[in-house]
Structure formats: structure tokens, C-alpha cells
């Protein structure tokens, strides 16, 4: 069977002849962007064949690209020999991001995190001295264990899995009955998770499942210390970039299973990596807390998500009962109880209830704040101790480089900032990791459009200046594009451009977010200026330049110090609920208290959206900087 090696990562896999490159990449755990779901129309799964035999109809690509060995991974079959393929859209794992997740903890107000007195993870441990059996006492090993356990914990009823019963006779005799029982307590009952002779460290995993990125933290439960953090791209991105395309993809049962497996592969891959690094067995992780949007949770659990798209937009489950890791397929101890953050609405999930734990919204009795999660699915909550209202809007993947001709994620080779010379119109680009630019990431797109607009090369409707004043604007009858990096100067000699269609995508994305904010505020008779704080969550929000966001009409003209960037607030919330019963209860209360508004039924929303489809807006006074 042919062996395929994927570059730049170097992962290899053996597959039967005739396998599609995209399917082989999924099997090998190589994330390849496939926003069109493998239909051969988006062009994002571009790969270059370096050696080996493949079958690809080159009519699907421009002649120049096909001649240079480029193919679409979703339409290319492996024929034979060992194939080496360079996957251009494979997002490289960003080593630098690893520490950023732990930095997120420092970005929040420490008082909002569980303190030493709050540490009450679901997994607990107790030392037991189980008496030796005596002739004629009629008690089994399990009877004696259970009696001792009940006396020590006060818990009369306990569920015990088979593998604990299997190991109990040997463990009890190994250390003369001196053992440690690991258990979870819920509603006056106990679930025995494991039994040991040695006093092992209690570890847990906090997991954030984003549509784009998955983050995992390994936490020592007794102290709350984060031992290691990892992030990786959600393996599901090879089946669609946003939640809607994944819901569509999951319509067939086999594909739902595929999506479940892909996200599990990502989570388990990260857990195993951390375990290897920490020199521990992943089955020694005894607690897990997961946060994710409503669709991600349904997909993780293999629950058909299609009703999320159909009126009245109902998911299979909002508040997931405690589940065992083994039933989900997590590679931690199979008996581990898994807590999943509750969702609020079809498009407002546990990532938001989790993120809100990093804010003072729930306890603020004076001001009113806004929590804004800038992602492919934009979600926002406005409120304080008295009330909370939330809504969601589909911004599309433009903020993360998706749906943009030369868009890419914020990884090595991405243009992250641009300065344009007002005289020549030539751009100076700043590239992540240095080197030749391969594309533009979200912050680069915002910087570029803001520069074009403020230097007069782009008008309020998002049309490029066709006067010839800027030599970098290339126009055809119907379209125009700005050449950010000319041919021959980008990675692989490619040019990097932004087209009017890309700019239009961005304007729609920022229009959707801003109009959702303004519609919600109008609903409660408020305006932006009456907000005491705007919390911005999401990996992308972290690198947002407030000035540029104001210039383009994404963020309102408030004082700079009213904006607070939280980074990945969802994983911080998962960390808190992993450790503390108080935080789990608070999160449930947040979910109960948010009134979810469906914007599609709000008559004002369309008017607000239309007004926001300009740079910055039909009412530019909303975006003047306040001091
Ligand atoms: S063209 Fe291959 S996934 Fe879209």
C-alpha cells in the first residue's frame, strides 16, 4: 500500500490505493482546511505533490498552478509509490501558543479564579485502612472496602466499575489494606473511579473546544497549578470552517461519527502529548471539564445537530448530565466524570457561559457591561447582577482569514500588520515569524483595510480607488484588487492580494457583529456610551488593534480603558469549573439567567445591519474616540 508523507509536519500514513489525499490527511491527523466540505469548489485544500503517483484532473486548477504540481487534496487519489505531499493549508501547530493559554489565566482578574478555599473538584481521594479478611466473617473484599469507604466519607451508596472490582483483591493485599480510593461525589452518592496503594497526584484536564482551535490544560487539582497547556487546530476544519457547514456535513450518520472522531483525535492527541511531556500515564487524569459552543458539544457527543438549523432551532441537549470519560471516548481514566459547560441557545454555548466566569457581569450591581466573543460565530451578552441578555450572529470566518482569497490563520508566514505609503500606495508588511509572506491573517486583514481606508485608497462602500493614484490597485471591469505583496516576493513566489470581494466579506462580518451589539442595546434602551465595560473574548480579539477596529466600525468609540481583552476566556472558565463546585454552580446560574434573543426575529436587526455595511457606518460619529 502507498505511504503518504505530509509536509511540513512529516506525519506518514499507509493507505489503500485510490484513497483521497484529504481522507488520508484526516486519518493521519493532519488538519487541512476544507471549507466547501471537499466538493472541489473553495480551492482551500491546495497541496503540492513532491513525489509519487496521484490521479488529479488538472482542469480544476488554473493552468500555471497545475503545471507546478499543485492539486486539490479533496479531488486527488493516491495511485502508488511513496507519495510526498506539501499541504499548503495545513495550519502549523503554533508552539508559541502553548504558553499563551496559561497566560490567559493572568489576563483575568485573579479574584475571579477559584481560590485555595474553593478547591472542590469532582474527583476526590481518601486514604483507607481496609481490615484483612477473617475466617467466617462472610465478607468479600468489596464488602470490606465499601464499609471502610462509607465510614471514611459518610457516603452510603457507591457505584463501582468492573475494572476496580478486578484489581481490588490484589491492591488490598499488596499493602495490607492501606489503600487510596479515588471517587467522585454527586448527590450524596459516590462513584468509585480507581483504587491505588500509593498516594498519587490528582490531575485534571480543562478543555476548550472551539470551532477552529482546541485548547487543553493539565491541572494539579490539589493546588490548581497548571502543569502544561497545549492548543491545536480542531481536526474538524477539514469538514467545514464554521458550525453551519459542519451541521450540514453531519447529516449522514457516518459523517457525524467522523466529526466526533476528528475532534476526539484532536483532544486526545493534545492530552497524550502533555502526558508524554510530563512523563505520566494519561489514564491517571481523573477529572475533566469541557467548554464548547452548542454545535461542538453535540458533535463531541455524537448527537445529531441538524435540528439546530431547523425552526425552532433546538439542540439535542443544553445542559449535559455528568458523563464518564469512557463513554465519550476521552483518553483519560475511563471512569473520570466529565463536566460540560451548559449552553444557553442554539448558537450560544458553553464557551460563553464559561467565558462569563472571567468577568464581573454576574456580580456587578452598578454598571452594565458587554461581553463580546469575536469568532466565526459572534456571541454577545449584555447585563449585570440584575439581568443578562444574549444573542449570536454569524460573522463568518473572515476574522480568522477564512473566505479571503489569500487569507490564513495567525501562524508563521501570515501578514499581521500593514503600513501603506500614502504617496506610492506600496505596503510595508509585517510577517509572523519573519520570512516571505504566505497570506494574511485576521489582524492583518483589519490593519490592511484600515490602512487602505484611512489613506484614501478605499471608500466607505468598500470599493477600491480606481483613479490610478495607487499603482498597486489592479482593476478589471467587474472587480478590483489591491496587491499587498507582488508576484515573486511572497512565499513560493506567490503574490498576496486582497480583493473587493474579500473586503466585502470583512464588511459583512464586522457589520453582523456591530449590528448585533446595537440591536441588543436598543432592546434595553441603552447606547454604547452607557456601558461601563466591554469584555472582548476569543483568540483573535486578543490581537485586535482598538484604533483600527474603530476606524472600520467594528468597535464603538469608547474610551480605550473600557475595553478589556480576555483572550481564550472559555478555557479559563473550564479551568475554574474543573476545580470548584462554586464555579460550576455559578456557571449553571449564568446559563439560567441569560435571556437568549433570536436576532432573526428582531425587526430592527436588518436596519442596523444595513447601516453597518459601510466603513465605518452610516453614522460615523459612533466611532469617534472618546477620552
Ligand atoms: S476545494 Fe477541496 S475542500 Fe474545497
Query: At 170, which CATH number?
Result: 3.10.20.880
- To test ligand 1's pocket by mutation, which of 23, 39, 57, 242 has the most ligand atoms within 8 angstroms of CB? 39
Is 179 part of any domain?
A: yes
Expressed in angstroms and rounded, the spacing between residue 88 Cα and the centre of ligand 1 is 12
> What's the CA gap between 534 and 521, in Å, rounded?
13
pLDDT band at 38 (very low <50, low <70, confident <90, very high): confident
- To test ligand 1's pocket by mutation, which of 32, 34, 236 has the most ligand atoms within 8 angstroms of CB? 34
Per-residue pLDDT, 92: 44
Tens of pLDDT, residues 359-384: 999 888 889 999 999 877 889 999 99
Instruction: Check pLDDT > 60 for residue 96.
Output: no
Domain hosting 485: range is 398-501
Q: Which run of H or of E encompasses 44?
A: none
User: Which residues, in sequence order, are CB contacts of 165 under 8 Å at separation 6+?
Assistant: 142
Is 98 part of any domain?
A: no
Per-residue pLDDT, 106: 45
Is 113 part of any domain?
A: no
Closest to 506 (Cα-Cα) out of 373, 406, 399: 399
Instruction: Check pLDDT > 90 for residue 177.
Output: yes
Per-residue pLDDT, 539: 67
> What's the CA gap between 511 and 34, in Å, rounded?
25
Angle, CA 244 vertex, CA 314 and CA 340 arms, to 5°: 55
pLDDT band at 88 (very low <50, low <70, confident <90, very high): low
Expressed in angstroms and rounded, the spacing between residue 442 Cα and the centre of ligand 1 is 21
Least confident of 101-105, 335-339, 425-429: 101-105
**Burial class (CB within 10 angstroms; exposed 0-12, middle 13-18, buried 19+) of 224:** buried
Tens of pLDDT, residues 522-577: 999 999 999 999 999 876 666 788 999 999 999 999 999 999 988 889 999 999 99
Angle, CA 262 vertex, CA 258 and CA 268 arms, to 5°: 140
β-pair partners for 287: 337
pLDDT band at 98 (very low <50, low <70, confident <90, very high): very low
Expressed in angstroms and rounded, the spacing between residue 33 Cα and the centre of ligand 1 is 8
- What is the pLDDT averaged over residues 67-94? 76
Examine the domain organization and report whether 420 and 525 are in the same domain. Answer: no
**Cβ 48 vs Cβ 69: under 8 Å:** yes
Least confident of 151-155, 352-356, 601-605: 601-605
Query: At 332, which CATH number?
Result: 3.30.420.480
Q: Is 408 in the pocket of ligand 1 (CB under 6 A)?
A: no
Radius of gyration of the chain (CA): 27
User: Which residues, in sequence order, are CB contacts of 38 under 8 Å at separation 6+?
Assistant: 20, 22, 45, 74, 238, 239
- What is the pLDDT averaged over residues 322-345? 95
Q: Give percent of the chain with pLDDT exceeding 70.
A: 94
| 68/106: higher pLDDT | 68
Instruction: Check pLDDT > 50 for residue 102.
Output: no
Last residue of a domain, one of 294, 312, 340: 340
Q: Is 69 in the pocket of ligand 1 (CB under 6 A)?
A: no
Shortest-distance atom of ligand 1 to CA 36: 4
Which one-letter DSSP state was computed for residue 407?
B
Expressed in angstroms and rounded, the spacing between residue 403 Cα and the centre of ligand 1 is 12
Give the DSSP letter string of 379-406: EEEEE-SS-EEEEEEE--GGGGTTTSTT
Query: At 600, which CATH number?
Result: 3.30.420
Examine the domain organization and report whether 380 and 364 are in the same domain. Answer: yes
Cell 495490607 sits at which residue? 176
Is 345 part of any domain?
A: no
Expressed in angstroms and rounded, the spacing between residue 513 Cα and the centre of ligand 1 is 27
Is 61 part of any domain?
A: yes
- To test ligand 1's pocket by mutation, which of 23, 26, 43 has the most ligand atoms within 8 angstroms of CB? 43
Look at residue 288 and give its three-state secondary structure.
strand
Expressed in angstroms and rounded, the spacing between residue 75 Cα and the centre of ligand 1 is 8
Tens of pLDDT, residues 452-479: 999 999 999 999 998 888 889 998 767 8
Instruction: Check pLDDT > 70 for residue 108.
Output: no
Expressed in angstroms and rounded, the spacing between residue 34 Cα and the centre of ligand 1 is 5
Expressed in angstroms and rounded, the spacing between residue 525 Cα and the centre of ligand 1 is 45
Instruction: Check pLDDT > 70 for residue 497.
Output: yes
**Cβ 541 vs Cβ 374: under 8 Å:** yes
Examine the domain organization and report whether 320 and 384 are in the same domain. Answer: no
| 92/418: higher pLDDT | 418
C-alpha cell at 555: 468597535
Q: Is 462 in the pocket of ligand 1 (CB under 6 A)?
A: no
Sign of the torsion formed by the C-alpha atoms of 215, 220, 223 and 226: negative
Examine the domain organization and report whether 175 and 255 are in the same domain. Answer: no
Per-residue pLDDT, 157: 86
- What is the pLDDT averaged over residues 222-237? 88
| Backbone dihedral angles phi then psi of residue 252, each to the nearest 5 degrees | -90, 135
Shortest-distance atom of ligand 1 to CA 41: 1
Buried/exposed code over 203-213 (b: 16+ C-beta within 10 A; e: otherwise)? bbbbbbbbbbb
Closest to 553 (Cα-Cα) out of 609, 479, 496: 609
pLDDT band at 99 (very low <50, low <70, confident <90, very high): very low
69: left (phi over 0), alpha (psi -120 to 50) or beta: left
Examine the domain organization and report whether 387 and 518 are in the same domain. Answer: yes
Expressed in angstroms and rounded, the spacing between residue 92 Cα and the centre of ligand 1 is 19
Is 311 part of any domain?
A: yes
Per-residue pLDDT, 577: 97
Specify the pairing of strand 46-55 against strand 77-87: antiparallel
**Cβ 300 vs Cβ 263: under 8 Å:** yes
Buried/exposed code over 155-193 (b: 16+ C-beta within 10 A; e: otherwise)? beebebbeebeeebeebbeeeebebbbbbbbeeeebbbb
Give the DSSP letter string of 418-474: EEE-TTT-PEEEEETTSSS--EE-HHHHHHHHHHHHHTTSB-TTSPBP-SSS-TTEE
Query: At 15, which CATH number?
Result: 3.10.20.30
**Looking at the 3D structure of the chain, how many domains does it have?**
5
Q: Is 79 in the pocket of ligand 1 (CB under 6 A)?
A: no
Instruction: Check pLDDT > 80 for residue 413.
Output: yes
Q: Is 34 in the pocket of ligand 1 (CB under 6 A)?
A: yes
Last residue of a domain, one of 475, 501, 527: 501
Shortest-distance atom of ligand 1 to CA 45: 2
Examine the domain organization and report whether 514 and 610 are in the same domain. Answer: yes
Examine the domain organization and report whether 469 and 541 are in the same domain. Answer: no
Model pTM score: 0.82
Q: Is 45 in the pocket of ligand 1 (CB under 6 A)?
A: yes
CB atoms within 10 A of CB 442: 28
- What is the pLDDT averaged over residues 48-55? 87
Expressed in angstroms and rounded, the spacing between residue 240 Cα and the centre of ligand 1 is 9
Q: Which run of H or of E encompasses 66?
A: helix 63-67
Per-residue pLDDT, 107: 53
Expressed in angstroms and rounded, the spacing between residue 162 Cα and the centre of ligand 1 is 46
Expressed in angstroms and rounded, the spacing between residue 239 Cα and the centre of ligand 1 is 9
Average per-residue pLDDT in the chain?
A: 88
| Backbone dihedral angles phi then psi of residue 606, each to the nearest 5 degrees | -65, -40
> What's the CA gap between 299 and 338, in Å, rounded?
16
Shortest-distance atom of ligand 1 to CA 34: 3
The H helix count followed by the E strand count for the chain is 16, 27
Shortest-distance atom of ligand 1 to CA 238: 3
Residue nearest to atom 1 of ligand 1 (CA): 40
Is 183 part of any domain?
A: yes
Q: Is 42 in the pocket of ligand 1 (CB under 6 A)?
A: yes
Examine the domain organization and report whether 483 and 513 are in the same domain. Answer: no
Q: Is 47 in the pocket of ligand 1 (CB under 6 A)?
A: no
Last residue of a domain, one of 459, 481, 501: 501
Q: Is 546 in the pocket of ligand 1 (CB under 6 A)?
A: no
Examine the domain organization and report whether 364 and 470 are in the same domain. Answer: no
pLDDT band at 63 (very low <50, low <70, confident <90, very high): low
Is 210 part of any domain?
A: yes
Q: Measured in Å, how far apart are the chain's first and last C-alpha atoms?
A: 67
- Most distant pair of Cα atoms in the chain: their distance: 101
Specify the pairing of strand 594-596 against strand 388-394: parallel
pLDDT band at 25 (very low <50, low <70, confident <90, very high): confident
Q: Is 43 in the pocket of ligand 1 (CB under 6 A)?
A: yes
Question: What separation in angstroms does the CA of 91 have from each of 3, 7, 264, 438?
Answer: 22, 11, 18, 12
> What's the CA gap between 356 and 583, in Å, rounded?
11
**Cβ 274 vs Cβ 216: under 8 Å:** yes
Q: Is 44 in the pocket of ligand 1 (CB under 6 A)?
A: yes
Examine the domain organization and report whether 209 and 333 are in the same domain. Answer: yes
Q: Is 38 in the pocket of ligand 1 (CB under 6 A)?
A: yes
Examine the domain organization and report whether 226 and 272 are in the same domain. Answer: yes
**Cβ 82 vs Cβ 52: under 8 Å:** yes
Per-residue pLDDT, 100: 36
> What's the CA gap between 475 and 353, in Å, rounded?
46
Examine the domain organization and report whether 70 and 134 are in the same domain. Answer: no
Shortest-distance atom of ligand 1 to CA 75: 2
Q: Is 239 in the pocket of ligand 1 (CB under 6 A)?
A: no
Q: Is 513 in the pocket of ligand 1 (CB under 6 A)?
A: no
Q: Is 36 in the pocket of ligand 1 (CB under 6 A)?
A: yes
Specify the pairing of strand 533-537 against strand 369-373: parallel
Amino acid at each position: 500500500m502507498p505511504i503518504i508523507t505530509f509536509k511540513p509536519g512529516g506525519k506518514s500514513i499507509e493507505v489503500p490505493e485510490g484513497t483521497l489525499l484529504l481522507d488520508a490527511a484526516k486519518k493521519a491527523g493532519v488538519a487541512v482546511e476544507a471549507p466547501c466540505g471537499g466538493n472541489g469548489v473553495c480551492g482551500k485544500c491546495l497541496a503540492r505533490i513532491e513525489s509519487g503517483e496521484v490521479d488529479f484532473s488538472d482542469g480544476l486548477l488554473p493552468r500555471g498552478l497545475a503545471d507546478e504540481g499543485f492539486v486539490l487534496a479533496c479531488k486527488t487519489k493516491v495511485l502508488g509509490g511513496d507519495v510526498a505531499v506539501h499541504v499548503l493549508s495545513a495550519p502549523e501547530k503554533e508552539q508559541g501558543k502553548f504558553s499563551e493559554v496559561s497566560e490567559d489565566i493572568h489576563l483575568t482578574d485573579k479574584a475571579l479564579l477559584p481560590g485555595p478555599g474553593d478547591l472542590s473538584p469532582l474527583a476526590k481521594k481518601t486514604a483507607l485502612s481496609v481490615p484483612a479478611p477473617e475466617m467466617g466473617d462472610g465478607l468479600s473484599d468489596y464488602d470490606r472496602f465499601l464499609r471502610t469507604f462509607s465510614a471514611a466519607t459518610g457516603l452510603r451508596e457507591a457505584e463501582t466499575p468492573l475494572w476496580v472490582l478486578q484489581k481490588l483483591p490484589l491492591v488490598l493485599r499488596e499493602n495490607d489494606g492501606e489503600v487510596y480510593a479515588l471517587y467522585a461525589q454527586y448527590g450524596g452518592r459516590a462513584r468509585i473511579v480507581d483504587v491505588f496503594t500509593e498516594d498519587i497526584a490528582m490531575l485534571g484536564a480543562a478543555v476548550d473546544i472551539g470551532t477552529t482551535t482546541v485548547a487543553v490544560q493539565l491541572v494539579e487539582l490539589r493546588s490548581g497549578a497548571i502543569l502544561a497547556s497545549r492548543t491545536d487546530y480542531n481536526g474538524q476544519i477539514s469538514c467545514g470552517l464554521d458550525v453551519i457547514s459542519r451541521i450540514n456535513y453531519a447529516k449522514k450518520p457516518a459523517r457525524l461519527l467522523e466529526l466526533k472522531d476528528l475532534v476526539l483525535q484532536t483532544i486526545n492527541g493534545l492530552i497524550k502529548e502533555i502526558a508524554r511531556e510530563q512523563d505520566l500515564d494519561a489514564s491517571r487524569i481523573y477529572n475533566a471539564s469541557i467548554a464548547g459552543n452548542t454545535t461542538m458539544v453535540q458533535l463531541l457527543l455524537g448527537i445529531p445537530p441538524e435540528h439546530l438549523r431547523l425552526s425552532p432551532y433546538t439542540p439535542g441537549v443544553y445542559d449535559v448530565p455528568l458523563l464518564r470519560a469512557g463513554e465519550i471516548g476521552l483518553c483519560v481514566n475511563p471512569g473520570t466524570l466529565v463536566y460540560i459547560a451548559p449552553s444557553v441557545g442554539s448558537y450560544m454555548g458553553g464557551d460563553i457561559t464559561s467565558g462569563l466566569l472571567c468577568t464581573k457581569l454576574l456580580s456587578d450591581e452598578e454598571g452594565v457591561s458587554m461581553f463580546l466573543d469575536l469568532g466565526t460565530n459572534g456571541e454577545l451578552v449584555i447585563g449585570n447582577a440584575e439581568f443578562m441578555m444574549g444573542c449570536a450572529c454569524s460573522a463568518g470566518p473572515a476574522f480568522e482569514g477564512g473566505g479571503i482569497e489569500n487569507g490564513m490563520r495567525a501562524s508563521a508566514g501570515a501578514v499581521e500588520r500593514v503600513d501603506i505609503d500614502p504617496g506610492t500606495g506600496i505596503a510595508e508588511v509585517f510577517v509572523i515569524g519573519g520570512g516571505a509572506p504566505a497570506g494574511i491573517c485576521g489582524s492583518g486583514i483589519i490593519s490592511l483595510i484600515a490602512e487602505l481606508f484611512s489613506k484614501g485608497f478605499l471608500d466607505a462602500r468598500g470599493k477600491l480607488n480606481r483613479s490610478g493614484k495607487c499603482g498597486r490597485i489592479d482593476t478589471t471591469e467587474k472587480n478590483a484588487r489591491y496587491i499587498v505583496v507582488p508576484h515573486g516576493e511572497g512565499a513560493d513566489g506567490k503574490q498576496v492580494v486582497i480583493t473587493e470581494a474579500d473586503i466585502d466579506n470583512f464588511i459583512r462580518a464586522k457589520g453582523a457583529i456591530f449590528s448585533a451589539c446595537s440591536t441588543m442595546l436598543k432592546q434595553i434602551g441603552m447606547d454604547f456610551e452607557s456601558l461601563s465595560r466591554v469584555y472582548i473574548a476569543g483568540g483573535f480579539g486578543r490581537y485586535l488593534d482598538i484604533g483600527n477596529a474603530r476606524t472600520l466600525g467594528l468597535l464603538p468609540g469608547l474610551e480605550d480603558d473600557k475595553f478589556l481583552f480576555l483572550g481564550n476566556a472559555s478555557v479559563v472558565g473550564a479551568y475554574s469549573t474543573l476545580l470548584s463546585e462554586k464555579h460550576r454552580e455559578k456557571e449553571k446560574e449564568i446559563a439560567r439567567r441569560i435571556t437568549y434573543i433570536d436576532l432573526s426575529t428582531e425587526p430592527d436587526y436588518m436596519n442596523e445591519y444595513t447601516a453597518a455595511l459601510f466603513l465605518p457606518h452610516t453614522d460615523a460619529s459612533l466611532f469617534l474616540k472618546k477620552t
